[in-house]
Structure 1
Amino acid sequence: MSDAPTSRRAQRRWVLWGVLFIVLLVIAAVAWVTIRGALAKQDLESSVAHVETLRSQLAKGNTAAAQRTAAKLEASAADARAKTSDPVWAAFEHTPFIGGNLRAVRQVSAIVDDVATDAVRPVAGVLGDVDVDAFKPDGGKIDLQPLVAAQPAVAKATTALGKATRAADQIDTGDTVSAVTDAVNQLRASLASASKQAAVADKVVQLAPAMLGDGGAKQYLVLFQNNAELRAGGGIPGAVALLDVEDGAISLGQQASTSDFPQADDPVLPLTTDTQGLYGSITGEFIQDVTLTPRFDTSAKLAREMWKRQFGERVDGVLSIDPVTLGYILKATGPVDLPTGDRLTSDNAVQLLLSDAYAKYPDPAVQDLFFASAASAVFTKVSEGGFDPKGFIAALTTGVDEGRVKLWSADKSEQSELTGTAIAGGLPTSDSSSQQFGVYLNDATGAKMDYYLDKTVSVGSEVCRKDGRPTWTVEVRLKSTAPADAATSLPDYVTGAGAFGVAPGVVRTNVAVYAPSSGVYVTSTQDGKTASPQTAMDSDHPVAQFQTTLSPGKSTTIRVQYLGAADQGRTPVDAVSTPGVHQSVTQPLVTSCESPVD
């Protein structure tokens, strides 16, 4: 009997020791996870710092330093993953309150490590070979081999970033603290941006060698668009030239004026009913009107056929560029001297080419020669390697982003890779991240008055209906900055001298507003009064087209409303527009349900 209490006391002691052991184990585990979490946080913060350093080094072209930073990034990312993937951490992921946070941190660490290993490492391995200086011609020739060698690494990085982007989108932040939620959102945004950039780089290294003649000689038709006489695609093709490429060697071939192309009696290629209805058959009949449509693939095919009919050569692709982009390029090349004695610089290129030249050289034939000599002089300096590579790439990138540089390939496989990218010059594209409108301007003056046309585009969205469908509003404001005495102070070639029924000094413009495919036209106003635009379709895009007429100093405001789909109420809206002499950025438009249209 006396042994029973002793036995119970012994059992209680063992129970107490067991409980104490469990408590100590839990404390140790919590301490372990806490310490490991703090260390992992440091590793992740180091990884973020390495990424920023890497971006800066790549922007400066410092490839040796970038390779060292990439190695540091890989090490810190691996450390963060190791600290958040042990059994203790995994066990705590199933606990209330903190489990979701630990799981998210572990997923973030794993994604960063995967990106460092599968995206940064392969690209870092070829950085030394694909230095920006490799894009600088040596003796008129670009060495294409580094681009060819980089193709597997860039493709692997693109795939890895796409996989990481999808993984980040699947992280559950429903019960995470704000700091973890913010970190996940930052990761998602960074990956989305990097993934898009990688996709572009992948297309460049895949397409550039072949398009620069790696597999044989190619010819491209270059359209020099004149923004002083607007077309939806940018401007009228004021001059054209052949670009000959073979194994990275680039040379400027035959040049021609648009006056060398007679107007055809009928479109040189069949036009869709949509294109003819909006822009007329003239789109396919005259070289200066092929860019009336915003579809660059259509413009390119028409120009290609016109060149073939006139000169008997079928080119492999079409490139478009404008004087504003030439101004960007001149920042990288420095000034160039023209045979006329003029000096073309980044500061005066736009004014000299789109305004002063008409007063200085009133004969259109001389103007054509002047434009051709300017394009030839800039090209010669570039082909001889007389430019800063980083500045040159930045100039072309800006030109592409602003819709001033476009490219079409007659090779179906190459064109399929270009389609959907900014350089392809397609119609507005919408997805779950943005609903995109298009605002396209076509000159109806028949002259060069668009040098004095300012444009502002604003877009807004408001859900005003019980069914959740958003009301989209697009506002286009045009203003003529022409001098008050434009009718007499400007050359007839600039004002048009009334040849097309527009009084000298006045600017007449056709404005086409393209909505996303889900949009339904509701109503529109011009200067506060109900408007009656031409409504049509271009493929699956609803279009409303207006005509404006502005005297010097006057302005006009067009507002168009469309109804979106119910699942697009929270989707941001944006717009692309015809690039003019002055670059304009789409502005946000504040709207209300009480008075959606003024």
Structure 2
Amino acid sequence: MADVIGGLSTDAFTPKGGKVDLDPLVKAQPAVARAAKTVARAERDASAIDTSDTLSPVTSAVNQLRNALRSASDEVDTADRVVQLAPAMLGNEGERNYVLLFQNNAELRAGGGIPGAVALLKVQDGAISLGDQAAGSSFGPYDESVLPLDPGTRTLYGEITGRYMQDVTLTPRFDLSAELTREMWKQKFGQQVDGVLAVDPVTLSYILRATGPVQLPTGDRLTADNAVQFLLSDVYAKYPDPSVQDLFFASAASAVFDKVSTGSFDAKQFVSALTQGEQEGRLRLWSATKAEQAQLEGTPLAGDLPVATTSLRQFGVYLNDGTASKMDYYLEKTVSVGASVCRADGRPTSAVEVTITNSAPADAATSLPEYVTGGGLSGTAPGKIKTLVAVYAPEGSIYLGSTQDGRQAPVQTVMDGEHPVVQLQTLLAPGESTTFRVAFLGDQKEAKAAVDVLSTPGAKQSKVLPLRFDCADPTPAD
């Protein structure tokens, strides 16, 4: 594999004349695939070594080998997915068309943000161009969901998930969001697309680190430093007309895209930007081709629900705006998670704690534009933020209990497929915070697994913190 890809660099894939040369990737496919299988087999062999009775130097050496192979396996697996997927998805075997969703984190959806602008991405033999563009609000409302929804989705997020383009990301399941998007695009434009890509303004700010500033037709200058605040906050004061806002968002995305498609960017910074966006859950990709989608599954790009293995136990914390406004620019979130074996049968108890804060100015009701506060039209007083917080556990988990600010609180308990979900609604005035804690019981085979949390990406990225709790009461109440 080193012989094959050693001569490649990020610069080799920089568009030249608006086109990426896909031949190096195609040529690398067989060798990288063989390497991925070999390293994966070596990792399995190393994991099977019995060190229960070995001397400490031998045990240490085996652990070093396992760590090295684990790291190498992850990297080779990623390389294999890239070289197998990229040529076909970039039109090496014929034209591809994708719907591009621009998600707005100022109005949160579980999958990221409300799809404010939608565009067609056309790809053929490495050449990429933007086609039709439309506001998310121009799709629907449809009389009924464009595709059948399962009971869990309808109960948690409502039939509107499949009736409005702006609501397709109410569910954290990006595969479902993408299928609904694809069908809505077909009904509006009569075109069956090959996949769906989602991106948010924070990822655009990362990309601007690679491209440098872009000048917009409005005269505004978008940079890596001002993009998030401008796109998620300032724009509403400067351009109060929603139709003008839609045009502004479309022009901003087009300007960044045009610079990327011409190759006018730092390739290493660009790859770093996409990687960061992917790892933070801000960049999603779905393919209508089953074999390609199977390759995407299990990666951050896929937007999968939490999973549990013997080494990792994931939870999900997903936020949906209930204010019908753009106040979520001011919503701050902290997530903590911890696990402990508290029972004689060895089954682990896990607790997830979510703290959200309305950091809007005290006079938000009058100092912020009505379009941002919602003006009270949805039933929420201006300046306040209404949020639905859903905590997902992996399949097979058992819900143990929950509290809000140390007190029992009314919650909704639902199964989304095989995933237990606990959902709470909050209403916060400027400066107010609330803390929601949920506990679940896991399977015995996951007792030694590390714990982590997938979470809705907001305007600011939040870290996952460790959480310690008393086994006697993982969700303590006053």
TM-score class normalised by the smaller sequence: over 0.9
Deviation sequence 1:54-73 (CA, Å, 0-9, x none): xxxxxxxxxxxxxxxxxxxx
How many Å separate the matches in 2 of 1:136 and 1:462?
A: 48
Deviation sequence 1:436-494 (CA, Å, 0-9, x none): 10110000000011000111111111222222222211100001110000000000110
Partner of 1:394: 272
**Runs of 4+ displaced beyond 3 Å:** none
Gaps of 5+ in 1: 1-121
Partner of 1:6: none
How many Å separate the matches in 1 of 2:275 and 2:5?
A: 22
Equivalent pairs counted in the alignment come to 476
Q: Which moved more, 1:483-492 or 1:181-190?
A: 181-190
Instruction: Note if contact 2:116-2:137 (Cα within 8 Å) is conserved in structure 1.
Output: no
Partner of 2:243: 365
How many Å separate the matches in 1 of 2:128 and 2:5?
A: 25
- Give runs of aligned pairs for residues 360-439 of structure 1, distance below 5 A: 360-439=238-317
Does residue 390 of structure 2 align to residue 545 of structure 1? no
**One-letter amino acid of the structure 2 residue matched with residue 381 of structure 1:** K
Q: Secondary structure at the match of 1:195?
A: helix
How many Å separate the matches in 1 of 2:361 and 2:68?
A: 47
Normalising by structure 1, report the TM-score: 0.78
- Give runs of aligned pairs for residues 59-458 of structure 1, distance below 5 A: 122-128=1-7, 130-458=8-336
Partner of 1:485: 363
Q: Which moved more, 1:193-202 or 1:236-245?
A: 193-202
How many Å separate the matches in 1 of 2:258 and 2:385?
A: 36
Instruction: Note if contact 1:126-1:153 (Cα within 8 Å) is conserved in structure 2.
Output: no
Instruction: Note if contact 2:317-2:391 (Cα within 8 Å) is conserved in structure 1.
Output: yes
**The one of 502, 526, 529 aligned to 2:404:** 526
Computed over aligned residues only, the root mean square deviation of the Cα atoms, in angstroms, reads 1.1
How many Å separate the matches in 2 of 1:427 and 1:259?
A: 27
Gaps of 5+ in 2: none
Do the aligned partners of residues 578 and 134 (structure 1) sit closer, same or farther apart at CA in structure 2, a change above 3 Å counting? Answer: same
Alpha-carbon offset, residue 196 of structure 1: 1.8
Alpha-carbon offset, residue 292 of structure 1: 0.3
Higher relative contact order (CA 8 A, sep 6+): 2
Deviation sequence 1:80-114 (CA, Å, 0-9, x none): xxxxxxxxxxxxxxxxxxxxxxxxxxxxxxxxxxx
How many Å separate the matches in 2 of 1:195 and 1:499?
A: 53
User: Which structure features the higher share of helix residues?
Assistant: 1
Which structure is larger by alpha-carbon Rg, 1 or 2?
1
**One-letter amino acid of the structure 1 residue matched with residue 312 of structure 2:** S
**The one of 443, 446, 455 aligned to 1:577:** 455
How many Å separate the matches in 1 of 2:169 and 2:54?
A: 52
Instruction: Note if contact 2:307-2:395 (Cα within 8 Å) is conserved in structure 1.
Output: no
Alpha-carbon offset, residue 274 of structure 1: 1.2
Instruction: Note if contact 1:316-1:410 (Cα within 8 Å) is conserved in structure 2.
Output: yes
Instruction: Note if contact 1:472-1:561 (Cα within 8 Å) is conserved in structure 2.
Output: yes
How many Å separate the matches in 1 of 2:164 and 2:337?
A: 34
**One-letter amino acid of the structure 1 residue matched with residue 3 of structure 2:** A
How many Å separate the matches in 2 of 1:151 and 1:466?
A: 50
Partner of 2:437: 559
**One-letter amino acid of the structure 1 residue matched with residue 402 of structure 2:** S
How many Å separate the matches in 1 of 2:216 and 2:341?
A: 56
Instruction: Note if contact 1:462-1:592 (Cα within 8 Å) is conserved in structure 2.
Output: no
How many Å separate the matches in 2 of 1:542 and 1:594?
A: 22
Alpha-carbon offset, residue 420 of structure 1: 1.9
Q: Secondary structure at the match of 1:294?
A: coil
Normalising by structure 2, report the TM-score: 0.98
